Amino acid sequence: MTAPDAGRGIWDGEETRTFTGLPRDSFRILHVSTGNVCRSPITERLTRHALADRLGDPLWGGVVVESAGTWGHEGAPMEANAETVLAEFGADASGFTGRELLDEHVIMADLVLTATRDHRQQVISMGHSAGLRTFTLKEFTRLVKAIDPATLPPLEEGLVMRARALVRAAAALRGWLLAPTAEADEVFDPYGAPLPFFRSIGDEINEALDPVVTALTGVPARA
């Protein structure tokens, strides 16, 4: 297990997946792709944008949204076309730097959403009991759509409690609701592609995120 540096706090056990000095009442979402310069940055920032839009709170009730790459370009800027796509959605792309996926990112995450099945397998292979909380984005969307929102804790009981219940419910459904095709759970890599393809990937990610954020917050997207 890779220990975090002192500036990130002290690891106090995998049971809680938190660091001393960080709030215990938080829920961390980690988006994973390959280079952490295209798909996962778009997904990270669209998730943040959607949460802020639904809840009107920059802290989103304790939800932390991050991203990393299995072959992450550490310190690299987001691809210019990815920034353009985010701007067209009204999402903030500023201040982003790429990260390589590390043990500590997986340990801290309450939910890991990957671009592809290969990414999911790489996260799970890192250990840290990640299997029950790691899904491809589209897989998680499919499972979430099958969950009755009335079975989740109301938002009044806290967004973190609702989010954890959502992950447990999705994990329980896995194996029962299979993808129609293998490709149905994949978000393809737009790296090096022209802007129109980036836009299509952005639309795909945004469409997949919408039911997830709705289930998480209990608040539908604005018309």
pLDDT at position 43: 98
Q: Are the beta carbons of 89 and 206 closer than 8 angstroms?
A: yes
Structure tokens at 18: 């938190």
pLDDT at position 179: 77
Q: Which residues of the chain have pLDDT under 70?
A: 1-24, 58-59, 223
Q: Are the beta carbons of 123 and 134 closer than 8 angstroms?
A: yes
Beta bridge partners of 65: 29
pLDDT at position 59: 63
Q: Are the beta carbons of 19 and 9 closer than 8 angstroms?
A: yes
Closest CA to 117 of 180, 185, 177, 38: 185
Cα(20)–Cα(10) distance, integer angstroms:
5
Those residues whose C-beta lies under 8 Å from the C-beta of residue 55, and which sit 6 or more positions away, are 61, 159, 217, 219
Q: Is 125 helix (H, G, I), strand (E, B) or coil?
A: helix
Give the number of other Cβ atoms within 10 Å of residue 207's Cβ: 11
Those residues whose C-beta lies under 8 Å from the C-beta of residue 128, and which sit 6 or more positions away, are 1, 14, 103, 106, 107
Q: Are the beta carbons of 206 and 46 closer than 8 angstroms?
A: yes
- The C-alpha angle 28, 43, 77, rounded to 5 degrees, equals 100
